[in-house]
A and B are shown apart, each in its own frame.
Chain A
Amino acid sequence: NAGVTQTPKFRVLKTGQSMTLLCAQDMNHEYMYWYRQDPGMGLRLIHYSVGEGTTAKGEVPDGYNVSRLKKQNFLLGLESAAPSQTSVYFCASSILLTYEQYFGPGTRLTVT
């Protein structure tokens, strides 16, 4: 039981490049989330999904897209990376009843 895994762990992009971050969970959780963490700002919600095939915008969705084609996977895409997207990205999943969130190990992204 791996819990929540994230790929890759580190990435450096040049401005304008694109990439996809992959999140996978093996706990059969319905809900999945993408957050970004910046110093002094806590965790800010980018997008979330309440089930396979559904996604919704969070607090800071601009510049990101997501897809949830399978229940266990939640993908975060950056179409044209900007230096402002330099951050640590965390994926999380939760069960319907308690919303207790299980976080992945994070992806550290630097955009130059």
Chain B
Amino acid sequence: GQQVMQIPQYQHVQEGEDFTTYCNSSTTLSNIQWYKQRPGGHPVFLIQLVKSGEVKKQKRLTFQFGEAKKNSSLHITATQTTDVGTYFCAGLHGDYKLSFGAGTTVTVRA
């Protein structure tokens, strides 16, 4: 089964509101990556976090890596219709493979 849990599975957001999706691993991660998949598309790499407590920003997106390197979050401010899609976290457990979370599917009400 999956080693990385992601919540919530669905997020319905009013345009302009903020939301956060969370990712948790049962084991310590070497790094964590975030991907976005638009409806009908393929996953596209957004960012990678490597250091304990690391915080990175991409415009309205803020990514955090927990101090224990077992959890991560993605916070989106002022949601826009272009944010629609499924956001996946993926954890690297020290080998060549990423474990993907089940994803958070975001829909936006205009």
Binding site for B on A (CB under 8 A): 31, 33, 35, 40-45, 48, 50, 58, 90, 92, 98-106
The reply to whether the CB of B52 lies closer than 8 angstroms to some CB of chain A is no
Binds A, one of B13-21, B62-70, B71-79, B93-101: B93-101
Q: Determine the chain B residues whose CB is within 8 A of the CB of A50 once the complex forms.
A: 96
| B interface residues, how many (CB within 8 angstroms) | 23
Binding site for A on B (CB under 8 A): 2, 6, 9, 31, 33, 35, 41-45, 48, 88, 90, 92, 96-103
Q: Are A105 and B88 in contact (CB under 8 A)?
A: no
Question: Quick one: closest B residue to A92, CB to CB?
Answer: B43
Main DSSP-derived SS at the B contact region: strand
Q: A43-B88, A101-B33, A101-B98 are in contact. List 4 more A-B contacts (CB 8 A).
A: A41-B2, A43-B43, A58-B97, A103-B44
Q: List 7 A-B contacts (CB under 8 A).
A: A35-B100, A40-B102, A48-B96, A48-B97, A50-B96, A92-B43, A98-B48
Take A40-B102, A50-B96 as given contacts and tell me if A102 and B45 are in contact as well, using a CB distance cutoff of 8 Å.
yes
The list of the 8 closest CB pairs from A to B, nearest first, reads A42-B102, A43-B100, A103-B42, A42-B100, A103-B43, A100-B45, A42-B103, A106-B42
Q: Determine the chain B residues whose CB is within 8 A of the CB of A41 once the complex forms.
A: 2, 102
Take A43-B88, A45-B97, A98-B48 as given contacts and tell me if A105 and B42 are in contact as well, using a CB distance cutoff of 8 Å.
yes
